[in-house]
A and B are shown apart, each in its own frame.
Chain A
Amino acid sequence: MANRETIQFTLNGRPVSLDVDGERKLLWVLRIDLGLTGTKYSCGDGLCGACTVMVDEDPVRACRLPVRNVGDREVVTIEGLGTAEALHPLQEEFAERGALQCGFCTPGMIMNAYGLLSNNQRPSRGEIIEGMNGNLCRCGAHKRIVEAIEAASQRMGGLS
């Protein structure tokens, strides 16, 4: 950790300033330095989506992203989307429709879906499948995940 630098960004709506090696991956900085363990390690190479977070307008794989790259940007993790008392519509639909089993891919699924809906409020089923295809679920909750995203999109579209 030779090359420490100060990196400032917004995390779940709050300013963060870190003195870290900027080459470190955002995933580990979130999990270790910031204690946000909802973002998961799984493949370590951007192949499964379990570590997906929002950086500005886009869903990003945190396991490959140097923390330096989020300087002055806005990061949202699963912890910033909603709370148990006030769930985001995506979280609520995932929970109510049983769109999860072991739950380990779930934060990445929800954040990727959030990114998808941020860029396309009313995706077709085909667009949802295409947009989620890089996120892996081993338990086989796919059918319900697609249904949950459709339902959330309708609710969110209705609100806007």
Chain B
Amino acid sequence: MTERDDGRNGARGGFGNETGDGSESGTKVSRRDFLKRVGGGIVVFVAVGDPSLLSSALAEQQRGYPTDFNAYLRIGEDGRVTVFSGKIEMGQGVMTSLAQMAAEELGVSVESLDMIMGDTDSCPWDAGTWGSLSTRVFGPALRAAAAEAREVLVDLACERLGAPRDAIRVRDGILSVSGDESRTVSFGELAGGRRIERTLGREAVLKSVREFSVMGRPLGRLDAVGKVTGAARYAGDIRLPGMLRARLLRPPAHGATLQTVDTSQADRVPGAVVVNQEGLVAVLHEDPEEAARALGLIQATFDVPEPRVDNESIFDHLLRTAPEGSVQDERGTVEEGERGSSVLFERTYYDGYVAHAPVETHTALARFENGKATLWISTQTPFGDQRSVARALGVEPENVRVITPYVGGGFGGKASSGQAVEAARLARITGRPVQVMWTRAEEFFYDTFRPAAVVKVRSGIDGQGRIRLWDYRVYLAGARGSDQFYDVPNSLVVAHGPRWTAGPGTHPFSTGPWRAPAANTNTFARESQIDIMAAEAGMDPLEFRLRHTTDPRMRGVLESVAEHFGWQPASLPSGRGLGVACGLDAGTYVAHIAQVSVDSRSGEVKVERVACAQDMGIVVNPDGARMQMEGCITMGLGYALAEDVRFKGGEILDRNFDTYSVPRFSWVPEIETVLVQNDELPPQGGGEPAIVCMGAVIANAIFDATGARLFHLPMTPDRVLEAISARRS
């Protein structure tokens, strides 16, 4: 079975060539095995073992890639080019942007590319698809491999056409001799009948922006046609003969332990296979509704610990249990900053737990035969899953193959794949292929939420309205995005818990990375505090920011968004409902201006308009970049205004979209995106940066509209009313 996208206009997306016998698998495929599998043609490996062969910037970014070899692309005898990437496509559009990069450096059209992504058998090892790293880190390696392949082809063409190197032109997969158009040879003809392996042996010369003909131009998504026709395959769409669908027994709360279980009634359901082994209790059936019905017949009792925290008490609990702080950044001294300040501001900011809530729930299909497992997983970490499945099955990782079909949204939540281990164990126990597709309630229960967090800031300005002090402590959000990039002489940034996970005794359930992890919380606190100081200084908030930054990229995005929006300076609050915020994430700078209206009777906030300017270095696909910016702005409305997972101890009270609100069509403002040209810098991250300002820019706009300051996300109507009435009294 071959999973292919029926891309009408573009490159074909693929997820590995499933051989059907499960005989080919392995985490460390040897070079020889790899070549045997892919057949003849020209294959370019990038050996990362010798970083001196790569440019220093590339070598720096490649740390973590394995030192053996990575096959990045192959040119086949039919002239088609196959790109292998351990990255996965979850909507962020990297299938398209990676294809653009390969096509550009090779000198072929995007239409002649096949993308193989997230297959542990054929793709180069990869840590996972997150952190807006695909373009920044995998991209340069892929471009280098493609540039190398082009050099090989030019060498071969010189021989074949009897022309010097500098006379060879490459276009759309055809090499020709300059000035003599009749002398041509195609990629396929050069690759045909031979096997050429090439390892990147010198610093690859990448094309400059001026030479681009594919990169830097809008290109429609290569996955679009498959996705609009229903043909695109996700993990839950893969079908195998004899497969069973599993429903698993779940505890009522995190921390609960199973005491008794009686499966006798479920055993009597025709066609049901009941499993009760080592804490794994499940009913499997060809029909998932029957499996669910039979699961409901299982009598089980759990010991549930007394709930100790809830949405109200969690923040005190987190402050009590937070790990020791570590200094992230220190300039001058706090004492000096205090002495130099005429007004001090001490504020505390709060953030609730937020769910990933992808529209596709965690899903996996597992087959286990002859000691080898093959899994199709909705995952951001195919190689990590390969290891965790191998561990659970007690087999070597090379006996586990993970194939990643299209992923129906991840946002960091699919960096953890409990469902894959469940499917693999059940497949081995039952001897049949098993699909585990989490229900929506399971998705909420087992999500690795964005952590609730607290930020305490003390800052000060002098009589001229200059920031003199910045004393910043973030508890449990993580350090990303906490850097103080404004020009402040005395600044101390301390993170209690440098990442988004924390030890036992802190969060009552799992937490993990959530689109631009930590940066949303830190940007909310920083940019709110900056606004508070601007208001006290009687200054326009945009002017206040520009006054405190000399960084040309930050100034560039602030000035661009202001010009685009038509910003008119005013001191706060102006009553107009306009907010500004800026930040940086994944190497990309962003600045937002939002306009809101606030219903002072209901506390409802309507975001009317958001403009965002973004400097992401070289833009690979302007249309794809704008799509991600729009997605960030829209998704960010949720954590800013509504999303807050309700819980009591380890019990998750939100189980579906009736009580957990995510952004809907009626919430969406007018969205305008500006890409600030910066061709001096290699491509930077695009999937996350534009979400980081959404909490702050809306909070600042609410303040501008009402004079009421919000310190707690999400800014629900109740909290808005509370802030308005606190201001009046």
Binding site for B on A (CB under 8 A): 1, 24-25, 28, 31-32, 35-45, 47-48, 50, 77-79, 81-85, 87, 90-92, 94-96, 98, 100-107, 110, 128-130, 132-133, 135-146
Contacts and interface: CB of A to CB of B under 8 A. Distances in A.
B656 A103 contact: no
Contacts, number: 185
Given A24-B289, A43-B656, 16 more contacts: A28-B287, A40-B359, A42-B359, A77-B230, A90-B228, A98-B224, A100-B221, A102-B90, A102-B91, A104-B358, A104-B406, A133-B664, A138-B359, A142-B664, A143-B668, A143-B671
A141 B634 CA distance: 8
30 contacts: A1-B270, A24-B287, A31-B237, A32-B288, A37-B237, A41-B437, A42-B360, A44-B440, A48-B657, A77-B230, A78-B229, A84-B6, A84-B226, A84-B231, A87-B228, A95-B221, A95-B227, A96-B224, A98-B627, A100-B221, A100-B228, A101-B91, A102-B407, A102-B408, A103-B91, A103-B408, A140-B632, A140-B663, A142-B665, A143-B671
Given A139-B409, A142-B668, A38 B439 contact: no
Interface residues of B, number: 63
B627 A141 contact: yes
Contacts of A48: 359, 657
A34 B662 CA distance: 32
A42 B634 CA distance: 20
Contacts of B411: 138
A104 B287 contact: no
Contacts of B289: 24-25, 28
Given A1-B270, A44-B440, A136-B359, A103 B406 contact: yes
B232 interface: yes
A140 B631 contact: yes
Interface string B232-255: 111011010000000000000000
A41 B224 contact: no
B390 interface: no
Nearest 6 pairs between A and B by C-beta?
A38-B230, A104-B408, A102-B91, A140-B634, A103-B227, A101-B91
Interface in B657-710: 657-658, 662-666, 668, 671
Contacts of B288: 28, 32
A98 B221 CA distance: 7
Given A100-B221, A129-B666, A40 B360 contact: yes
A21 to B, nearest CB: 8
A36 to B, nearest CB: 7
Contacts of A104: 234, 358-360, 406, 408-409
A76 B8 CA distance: 23
Interface in B347-383: 357-361
B228 A146 contact: no
B93 A101 contact: yes
A102 B439 contact: no
B440 A42 contact: yes
Contacts of A95: 220-221, 224-225, 227-228
B152 interface: no
Contacts of B239: 35, 37
Output the residue of B93, B236, B361, B409 with the most chain A CB within 10 A. Answer: B409
Interface string B1-43: 0000010100000000000000000000000000000000000
Contacts of A137: 359
Contacts of B624: 98
Given A24-B287, A25-B289, A102 B665 contact: no
Contacts of A41: 236, 361, 437
Contacts of B668: 129, 142-143, 146
B228 A136 contact: no
A38 B631 CA distance: 23
B630 A143 contact: yes
Residue with the greatest number of chain A CB neighbours at <10 A, chosen from B226, B287, B410, B439:
B287
Contacts of A107: 228, 230
A43 B225 contact: no
B546 interface: no
B191 interface: no
Given A84-B229, A98-B224, A102-B360, A37 B408 contact: no
A129 B286 CA distance: 39
Given A28-B289, A39-B230, A101 B656 contact: no
Contacts of A84: 6, 8, 225-226, 229, 231
